[in-house]
Amino acid sequence: MRMQRWTKLENQGIPELKIEQNGAIVVGPLAIDGCAYKPVRIVTHAHQDHIVSLSKSYKNSGFVVATPETFAILRGLGLRVNSTKSLELKYDIPVTMYDAKFVFRKMNHIPGTAGVEVDLGGKRIAYTSDFRLEDSHIFENVDVLIIDATYGHPSYKRTWSRMHIVNKILHLIEEHDKNLWVYGYYGKAQGFMLLLREAGYREPIVLTRKMYGITAELESVGLSFGKYLQYESRESEELVKSNHSIIIDHAINFKHRKKRPGIHVLLTGWATKPVEILNEWHYRMSYSDHADYYDILEYVRLARPKTVIVDASRSSYARFMARAIENTLGIHALAMP
Ligand SMILES: [Zn+2]
């Protein structure tokens, strides 16, 4: 079955196009979000599963291309990106490298996330990267749309917004004389900070060391987070003593919550209800930077591509999602690898 579908894709005259087991999306001379020993490595955003084997790509590729914001996060993570091979590319500026013309478009995920549209031998191929439906670029009428389906199952249906969760958190801090710890992944946490400001929160936000470094790097390329302080700095100590501060740390440190006085909130995309109360002061809240199942279908419906490839290297629902796209929308779809 898969062979037959693959042949169908080749019959459309699409040049080299595949997703490798290691997550590399290969479009002609471009290796997107994985190492495939191609002249150009593209990094669509700074999440772990999209920056795999970056140092290998720096060794083996001529160029590593990403948005200024993505390079800022990579620097904040302490990765070596100051190589002369780094090429910063802003949104909406087409470039041609090794016979592939491509452009980055802004996707609503974490700061700096880019979807990529490639023109290769007259065929238009687009990769959404990770995205939320609202405020993301729609790649319309492309020959092949490669789409992320992290939450490509109907059990992931979110009828609440991220702002709903931000407001829940703001209520907690207003109602109690306790510091409020928020745990999230790098990038997600910075997006959360932007929403806190949008919701009107004006106090300085306290950030653990690496969170602080990433936020400072993002400010250096033009983002604005309001005032923030590094955890355990003298200025932050006073604020923390007031028992009314928001402290942001990496999701992995949620396991240390019992040793830390305060209220603790883990931001997670995997929750199936908005707020899960673990005990009086410990919560898991649903906060996702990804499209849910219905949003993915809606994206494909709006984009109207000839063929959809669902990225199976980053989702266990890719085959299910591809079938759903074919059955619901009547658009040729397959999962890869
Ligand atoms: Zn991501």
Residues 310/333, Cβ–Cβ less than 8 Å: yes
The whole-chain average pLDDT of the chain stands at 93
Q: What is the pLDDT of residue 272?
A: 82
| Residue 8 Cα to ligand 1 middle (Å) | 30
| Residue 239 Cα to ligand 1 middle (Å) | 32
Q: Which residues pair with 275 in a beta bridge?
A: 285
| Residue 98 Cα to ligand 1 middle (Å) | 27
* Dihedral over alpha carbons 329, 6, 107, 170 (to 10 degrees): 70
pLDDT digits over 266-289, tens only? Answer: 999 888 899 999 988 999 999 999
* CA 268 from centroid of its chain's CA atoms: 13
Q: What is the pLDDT of residue 191?
A: 95
Cα–Cα distance, 114 to 104 (Å, whole number): 5
Residues 149/19, Cβ–Cβ less than 8 Å: no
Domain ranges of the chain: 2-155+291-336, 162-286
CA-CA distances (angstroms) from residue 323 to 205, 329, 330?
44, 10, 10
| Residue 292 Cα to ligand 1 middle (Å) | 13
pLDDT digits over 274-331, tens only? Answer: 999 998 899 999 999 999 999 999 999 999 999 999 999 999 999 999 999 999 999 9
218-229 as b/e, with b when 16 or more CB fall inside 10 Å? beebebebeebb
Question: Which CATH class name applies to 2-155+291-336?
Answer: alpha beta
| Residue 182 Cα to ligand 1 middle (Å) | 19
Q: Which residues crowd ion ligand 1, with CB under 5 Å?
A: 47, 130
pLDDT at 186 over 50: yes
Most confident of 13-22, 182-191, 268-277: 182-191
Q: What is the pLDDT of residue 4?
A: 43
Q: What is the pLDDT of residue 1?
A: 40
Within 230-329, where are the H helices? 234-241, 293-303, 318-329
- The stretch 157-166 carries a mean pLDDT of 92
CA-CA distances (angstroms) from residue 289 to 35, 37, 79, 327?
24, 30, 23, 26
- The stretch 207-215 carries a mean pLDDT of 97
| Residue 109 Cα to ligand 1 middle (Å) | 7
- The stretch 159-170 carries a mean pLDDT of 94
Q: What is the CATH number of domain 162-286?
A: 3.40.50
pLDDT at 169 over 60: yes
| Residue 296 Cα to ligand 1 middle (Å) | 15
| Residue 240 Cα to ligand 1 middle (Å) | 31
pLDDT digits over 92-119, tens only? Answer: 999 999 989 999 999 999 999 999 999 9
Backbone angles phi, psi at 272, to 5 degrees: -105, 0
Q: What is the pLDDT of residue 319?
A: 97
Measuring CA to CA, which residue among 67, 29, 19, 50 is closest to residue 336? Answer: 19
* Dihedral over alpha carbons 144, 145, 148, 154 (to 10 degrees): -110
Q: What is the pLDDT of residue 12?
A: 61
pLDDT at 13 over 70: no
Measuring CA to CA, which residue among 74, 95, 91 is closest to residue 83? Answer: 74
CA-CA distances (angstroms) from residue 71 to 6, 8, 23, 171?
35, 37, 20, 35
